Amino acid sequence: MARQPGGRTRAMAGVAVLATLALGSGGSADSVRLGVGGAVNSGVSLAAAGSEVVVTWAARSASTTDIYAAWSRDGGASFGTPARVNDVAGDARVSGEQAPRVALGAGVEVVWVSRQGGASVVRAAKARAGEQRFAPATTVHAANLTGARGWASLAMGRDATVHVAWLDGRDAHAQSTGAAADKHSGHKGMRQDLFQAALRPDGTHAEARVATDVCFCCKTGVATGPDGTVYVAWRHIYPPNLRDVAVARSSDGGRTFAPPVRVSEDGWALDGCPDDGPSIAVDARGVVHIAWPTLAPGGGAGKGIFHSYSTDGGRTFAPGVRVDDATGAAAHPQLAAAGEPSSGTSRVRSAAASARGPSRATRRSRPLRLPWASPWS
């Protein structure tokens, strides 16, 4: 696999809010406490544009789970009263890799997983720019599908098109014999495929199958570049049974996708799902950044969080560099990119949740400063 050169040095935080939010009780003196009283608050996701920050999370009571969002107009220093996102009470199902996701652009869009009539569905709701209330939710995909689905991700393009990626088991029993079934032995032979839907401002909807036979329960990632290219990231299953991360690109707004590119050959053989997927972001220069968990090298126990980037539109990726603190406890990375094309640098911050609980999820983070040369110099 072709690789790209490039240096990495540390720098100041690109998105400081990633290191200052906490859910529930506790937290340091400089943290902002968010939550809904009388509920267990978890699964935080955030988006920022300038001084506007939107945070979304799940609030679970004894019998129901709802999705909430809160707005900040001062860069995360303070937040308004949380608003419920889902119009149908209890219309959410949340787990570690199935948190709600939020995107900020021409308004605010939130996606989450629900269970309706015994079936898993991916739901979305939108708040118009300047408003802090959400329209009734819609289902992203076709109705009455069989199989499990979820592990969704979300991005909003400059043209206000919303891109949602998710894992879908509508064809879970389409193949149940041979090598393809063997690699899904940890999930009783069922398969998951990767889908992406483009929800356009004019109300039209385009759905594409990005890949088949992917890792069953790792979260997906989706991002858009300044030129409109759409990138989807996920954990794929490579022969004989290696759980490595892949990226596919679309140059037609998400209607079709090129074949997947393997980001790194990590050699993680596993008869099951790591339940820990990638995160992807594109900076202002169009550089594609990806963070993912995998087994730490050297035969030691535990996982590590690695970062790589692509300067050629996701066709090749630089060798991965470990960015966690090497304790083996980091998981569930979230990646954000900041910086302007004229600055000479792009800044990336990767925050990883530890095994010690969701309230610590944003307190471990590592900024990366990447000094670019040609073709931008």
42's tokens: 């978890």
Residue 76 lies in a domain: yes
Residue 16 lies in a domain: no
Residue 268 lies in a domain: yes
Residue 150 lies in a domain: yes
Residues 196, 163 contacting (CB under 8 angstroms): yes
Residues 35, 26 contacting (CB under 8 angstroms): no
Residue 299 lies in a domain: no
Residues 16, 5 contacting (CB under 8 angstroms): no
Q: Output the pLDDT for position 368.
A: 55
- Domain with residue 259: its CATH number is 2.120.10.10
Helices in 143-265 by DSSP H: which ranges? Answer: 178-182
Q: pLDDT means per 10 residues in the chain (377 residues)?
A: 37 28 48 87 89 93 93 92 94 88 94 86 94 94 89 94 95 57 51 94 92 90 96 94 95 96 91 85 93 80 87 96 82 76 50 44 48 35
Residue 18 in 3-state DSSP? helix
Residue 348 in 3-state DSSP? strand
The values of phi and psi at residue 221, to 5°, are: -140, 145
Alpha carbons 336 and 216: distance in angstroms, whole number: 25
The total of structural domains in the chain comes to 1
Q: Output the pLDDT for position 222.
A: 97
Alpha carbons 127 and 314: distance in angstroms, whole number: 31
Residues 290, 247 contacting (CB under 8 angstroms): yes
DSSP letter for 19, please.
G
Stated pTM of the model: 0.84
Question: Which residues does 106 contact at the CB level (< 8 Å), separation at least 6?
Answer: 129, 156, 160, 201
Q: Find the farthest-apart pair of alpha carbons in the chain and give their distance in angstroms, rounded.
A: 57
Q: Output the pLDDT for position 325.
A: 80
DSSP string, 218-248: ---EEEE-TTS-EEEEEEEEETTTEEEEEEE
Q: Terminal CA-to-CA distance of the chain, rounded, Å?
A: 26
Alpha carbons 346 and 108: distance in angstroms, whole number: 25
Residue 63 lies in a domain: yes
Q: Output the pLDDT for position 101.
A: 95
167's tokens: 């894992």
Give the domain extent around 250: 31-287
CB atoms within 10 A of CB 372: 20
Residue 372 lies in a domain: no
Residue 363 lies in a domain: no
Q: Output the pLDDT for position 366.
A: 54
